[in-house]
Chains A and B, each alone.
Chain A
Amino acid sequence: MLKVERLDAFYGQSHILHGIDLSVDEGRRTTVLGRNGAGKSTLLKSITNSGPKVEGTVAIEGRPLGSRAWFRRAKDGVAFVPEDRRIFTHITVEENIELGRFGASAARPVVPAAQIYEWFPMLGPLRARLGGQLSGGQQQMLAVARAVAARPRLLLLDEPTEGLAPVIVEDLAKIVARICDELGITLLLVEQNIWFGRQTTDRVYVLDTGSVVFSGSWAEFDRDETIRNRHLALA
């Protein structure tokens, strides 16, 4: 589904990512772990062509994206939820979700609002409220809801648990896993929260100083203590 080959990314003179190779098969779910500054968010921004200067190849279903504009990528079925949530604060919850139609197509019709509120029950009573009046957790739910409303084929989530209360993180993990199952979405998740990654994905990459230092299943990750101690600095 998604294939990243020899990807280098730069912010000005700073060389952030070094020859990243990464692939996510159709319908599979993958977490990218890494410490702060490891290059995780830069990786997603490179895939979405929304920031760094990029060299290398990003291909979806074998088709290199090149400099394809982001709104066209969204129409191709790629949905991105950036780390700062990026909901629209001056329109209502309902209107935010309704904007998901822009990423939909004839082959991937927009998900009915009733289904969205069934997946995200906390948003139902808030549908007339402005996005800016929501709590952090509600905003994150809304950001994910808007992304999946377009019935994407590939969902990119950038640290969705950042700043959320543990109980919200638990809810979000269940919801993300359920939606990916029901819609058959391929997921690439960037996280520091290992628990969340484990609940929602079946494969893991570890990034350190802009390079991939591990890739494998969660079972392989659990067996490799060096990776955890040296590259993730876990206690």
Chain B
Amino acid sequence: MTDLTAPPSRYTFRFDRWAPALLLAIALLAYVVIALYTGQSQYLTVDNLISVLGRSIALGITAVGQTFAILVASIDLSVASLISAVSVLTSVIMNGNPAMVIPAVAAALALGLVVGLINGLIITRLEVNPLIATLGMSLIIQGCLSAFVSNFAGSVPPEFQVFAYGGFGSLSYSLIFLAILAVAAWFVLRHTRFGSDIYAVGGNKDAARVAGIKTARVTIGAHILCSLCAAMAGLYLASRLRSGAPWIGNDGVYDLESIAVVVIGGTILAGGRGGIWGTMAGVIIFSLIDSIFNLAGVDAFAKQVLRGIIIVAAVAFYAVRSKRLVA
């Protein structure tokens, strides 16, 4: 089949590279049109757009991590459970006591680190398919969590609620945090050897190995970053809800939605291509879609139905042109 791989003429314009920007423009346009059409032009301000984004902070933080997992040709379906576990853990440790904020944050990040490490080890050392490894991990985390709590647990002191509710004017701290996180992720991917190794391992594992890259370590590192991001999303949600809820991760469908925004952002599921800015575009697109539903007055259940369809459609948007057979 080698004969067929070289197309007769080479196009320098690559649709896939511009697709996230295109989708973002379409979503923005749709938002403006719906707002005008329904006579709600008061929502067409910069402040309002910022608040639209503010509703997707947790998704954004999770998606930054998921980008690493997918770039290295893996995937993480345990983020939603981890978010729940972290939100409960922090809220219980803090228990309203401002002095416990730092220990709680440390514990949350430590949990993320351990979960990411175990995910990575199961995938690289035991060679378990990443889907199954992280699904299993998700069951384990959720089971442990449900064994201890079934309702709101602990409480978050006001000092930590600032994370979700404080800000400079309409610009919240959490949004700034997400922006900084995205820049940091970009820096790692673009300017460090680890970032370069992630693209190499995701793009062609054998080539990476022959070049002397320790592929297992890179995969484990990507999973640790992914779980750390999920832990930070859990911290944010604890701060936002003022208490830990064991269902918060699964209610937000953060596993599937984080994968969806990464894919909409042009990172391919097979790994090795994509980047953080696409993911950010994907997050903005998702929050715009949410706002469009709100403007149009779609009820909560119908919204869920539409979400499922949109996620599949988004993946199909990229996948349908590929000649590969999928299962």
Do these two chains really belong together in a complex?
A: no
